[in-house]
C-alpha cells in the first residue's frame, strides 16, 4: 500500500473506492458496495456502524449552532421561520455529509483492515 492516509480518506469522502479511486464505495445512498466494480476490492463486509452519524453530527453542529447564534444576535428574526430555516439547514447538511463521512469511515476501516466486528477484551 503506497497511497497516503489523506488519499484514502479523500477517496472515501467523495464516494470512491479507497483502493482504486474509480469505483463507487456506496449505492442507494448509504449501502456499502459488495465490491468495487472497477478493481473488485471487497468492501461489503466493512461495517461502519454509528461512526459516520457521529462524525456528521459533530461537523453539522459546529456549523449550524454558531451560525444560528450569529443570525439571532445580528437580526433577531421571528422565532418560527428562524427555527424552520435552521432545521432545514441542518437537515440539508446532514443529507449531504452523511454519505461522505460514511465513505470516509469505510475507507479508513479498509486501510486499517477493520471489518467492524472486532471485539474489545472483557
Binding site for Zn ion (CB under 5 A): 17, 19-20, 23, 36, 38-39, 41
Handedness of CA 101, 8, 63, 51 (dihedral sign): positive
Name the residue nearer to Zn ion (CB basis): 17 or 90: 17
Helix (H) or strand (E) holding 27: strand 26-27
Distance of closest approach, residue 103 Cβ to Zn ion, in angstroms: 12
Name the residue nearer to Zn ion (CB basis): 35 or 47: 35
- Cα 90–Cα 86–Cα 82 angle in degrees, nearest 5: 170
Name the residue nearer to Zn ion (CB basis): 8 or 56: 8
Amino acid at each position: 500500500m503506497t497511497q497516503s492516509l489523506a488519499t484514502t480518506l479523500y477517496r472515501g469522502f467523495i464516494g470512491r473506492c479507497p483502493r482504486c479511486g474509480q469505483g463507487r464505495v456506496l449505492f442507494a445512498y448509504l449501502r456499502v458496495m459488495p465490491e468495487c466494480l472497477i478493481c473488485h476490492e471487497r468492501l461489503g463486509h466493512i461495517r461502519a456502524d454509528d461512526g459516520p452519524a457521529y462524525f456528521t453530527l459533530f461537523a453539522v453542529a459546529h456549523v449550524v449552532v454558531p451560525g444560528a447564534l450569529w443570525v439571532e444576535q445580528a437580526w433577531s428574526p421571528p422565532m418560527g421561520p428562524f427555527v424552520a430555516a435552521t432545521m432545514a439547514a441542518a437537515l440539508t447538511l446532514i443529507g449531504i455529509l452523511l454519505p461522505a463521512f460514511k465513505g470516509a469511515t469505510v475507507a479508513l476501516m479498509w486501510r486499517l483492515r477493520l471489518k467492524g466486528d472486532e471485539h474489545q477484551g472483557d
